[in-house]
């Protein structure tokens, strides 16, 4: 009888203990233990945008086609030679002659238009025409030029006349050459008072005549202009024509 009561007592005590432990754990979890903070989700990588496919190739902007250089038109002045013109524009004499269809480098005339080839050279082939000048070319009949002929007679210059002495607009001195060709560059025409006119580069051929006007004007192969504002010559005045070395070529007294 005592053993049964002891066993019942132990069983009851175990149930009470178990209920107490369960109640304590439930209260601990509900009121004391801090609620667990959920972990933040790991950052997700943002995917990079894929390049958009472009149909075909992008158009390529072509480079502008360079224009051919424009040739220069040169007007022949008094005293110029073909070789001097070629040297001035830094082209060869052969290229200059080929560009203008010339066969004789000694045949030129004042006022003649020449085409100066830029970069030198004649047309590359018969299919490639020569470049056209910037201004229209006027064809002028060429005049003969002086040649170095050792057998040519010496020049014989003479002052033929003085026109309208004392009248500025009409006053002029006429000079003639009855000998061989002469280059008048550096020759002078002066009076007794020391006023003098210096000739430009100009070839006077046998039988040629050149007129020196006192007033201003534009020089040609037959007319030269002193550029003075008053008349120089009067009756009784002496004029002298001398070469670049000072040698007397002709003298004349105004009638």
Mind listing the domains of the chain with CATH numbers?
72-144 (3.10.350.10), 157-253 (2.60.40.1260)
User: Exposed, middle or buried by CB within 10 Å (0-12, 13-18, 19+), for 93?
Assistant: middle
Q: What is the pLDDT along the chain (255 residues), one digit of tens a residue?
A: 577 788 888 888 888 888 888 888 887 777 766 555 555 666 665 666 655 555 555 555 555 565 556 668 888 888 788 888 888 888 888 888 888 888 877 777 788 888 888 754 443 344 445 445 444 444 434 444 444 556 778 999 999 999 999 999 999 999 999 999 999 999 999 998 889 999 999 999 999 999 999 999 999 999 999 999 999 999 999 999 999 999 999 999 999
Report the distance separating Cα 115 and Cα 148, nearest Å.
27
Q: What burial letters (b/e) apply to 51-68, b meaning 16+ CB within 10 Å?
A: eeeeeeeeeeeeeeeeee
Report the distance separating Cα 210 and Cα 101, nearest Å.
30
pTM of full prediction above 0.85 = no
Spacing of C-alpha 43 from chain mean position = 67
- Integer angstrom CA distances of residue 159 from 100, 173, 199, 213: 38, 7, 14, 13
- Identify the pLDDT of residue 71: 66
- Integer angstrom CA distances of residue 134 from 73, 82, 121, 187, 214: 7, 20, 18, 37, 36
Q: CA 92, 97, 99, 100 torsion: positive or negative?
A: positive
């Amino acid at each position: 009888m005592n053993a049964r009561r002891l066993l019942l007592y132990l069983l009851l005590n175990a149930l009470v203990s178990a209920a107490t432990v369960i109640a304590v754990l439930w209260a601990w979890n509900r009121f004391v233990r801090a609620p667990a903070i959920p972990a933040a989700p790991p950052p997700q990588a943002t995917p990079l945008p894929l390049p958009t496919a472009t149909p075909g190739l992008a158009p390529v902007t072509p480079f502008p086609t360079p224009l051919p250089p424009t040739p220069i038109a040169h007007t022949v002045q008094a005293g110029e030679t073909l070789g001097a013109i070629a040297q001035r524009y830094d082209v060869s004499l052969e290229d200059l002659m080929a560009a203008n269809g010339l066969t004789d480098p000694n045949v030129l005339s004042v006022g003649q238009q020449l085409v100066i080839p830029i970069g030198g050279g004649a047309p590359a082939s018969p299919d490639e025409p020569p470049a056209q000048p910037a201004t229209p070319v006027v064809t002028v009949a060429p005049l003969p030029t002086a040649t170095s002929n050792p057998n040519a007679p010496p020049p014989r210059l003479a002052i033929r006349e003085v026109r309208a002495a004392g009248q500025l607009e009409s006053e002029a001195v006429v000079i003639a050459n009855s000998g061989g060709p002469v280059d008048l560059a550096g020759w002078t025409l002066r009076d007794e008072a020391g006023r003098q006119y210096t000739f430009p580069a100009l070839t006077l051929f046998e039988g040629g005549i050149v007129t020196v006007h006192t007033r201003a004007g534009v020089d040609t192969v037959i007319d030269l202009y002193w550029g003075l504002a008053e008349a120089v010559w009067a009756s009784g005045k002496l004029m002298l024509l001398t070469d670049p070395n000072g040698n007397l070529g002709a003298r004349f007294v105004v009638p």
